[in-house]
Amino acid sequence: MTVATDQKLEQAREEFVAQWGALGTQWGINRTMAQIHALLMTSPHPMCTDEVMESLAVSRGNAHANLKELVNWGLVRMIVVKGDRRDFYEGEKDVWQIFTIIARERKRREIDPALALLNKCAEETKDLKGAEAKVFHNQMKQLEEFVSFASKMSDRVSSMRHGLAIQLATKILG
């Protein structure tokens, strides 16, 4: 029975890892990074580089680069096991933490640069006189206002505690 359970669990976990990797692609993060994330998020123990490599059948360089990136994001922590020279890695398991980390990163990469561009374009055209220029400037302002709004929302929600966010969401959905 334990053997059967172990097998089914391993199977489910493998599917999760594989598919989460495929999803990562849609999210603009590469397959290996998403797979490692899935692996560590569902690992009962911290893993070393070789375990990750074997588990996913990827090269050392690939495993290394993506572990590093995940640590950068804050989705994975490096763990030192005393008496062992290898680095171990442990995935963040708290769902709200995972969400806020990803939200922050996406904001940084997707919202902030857009806002900068819209600011610039609105600024450059604010004194122009023609009718077309007015229309263009107005469009930039509208976009800017909206994106700035989104930016603030994102910050606000990301900095909430889990419980508060749930409360808020309940209000919206209710």
Partner DNA sequence: TCACATTTTCATTATTTACTGAAAATTCGG
Partner DNA sequence: CCGAATTTTCAGTAAATAATGAAAATGTGA
List residues near its own copies by CB under 8 A.
1-2, 5-6, 8-9, 11-13, 15-16, 19-20, 23, 26-28, 41-42, 44, 93, 95-96, 99, 109-110, 113-114, 117, 120-121, 124-125, 128-130, 132-133, 135-136, 139-140, 142-143, 145-146, 149-150, 152-153, 156-157, 168-169, 172-173
* Per-residue mark of binding to DNA, 79-118 (x: CB under 7 A): -----xxxx-------------------------------
From the list 159, 115, 166, the residue with the least C-alpha distance to 140 is 115
Strands of the sheet containing 87-91, edge to edge, are 47-48, 87-91, 76-80
Q: What DSSP line would sit under 52-102, residue for residue?
A: HHHHHT--HHHHHHHHHHHHHHTSEEEEEPTT--SEEEEE---HHHHHHHH
Q: How far apart are CA 30 and CA 8, in angstroms?
A: 27
Output 86 or 120, the one with its CB closest to its own copies.
120
Residue selected from 68, 77, 107, 141 as contacting DNA according to rule CB under 7 A:
68
Residue selected from 18, 30, 55, 74 as contacting DNA according to rule CB under 7 A:
30
Instruction: Confirm or reject binding of residue 37 to DNA (CB under 7 A).
Output: no
Q: Which residues bind DNA (CB under 7 A)?
A: 25, 30-33, 48-50, 57-62, 64-66, 68, 84-87
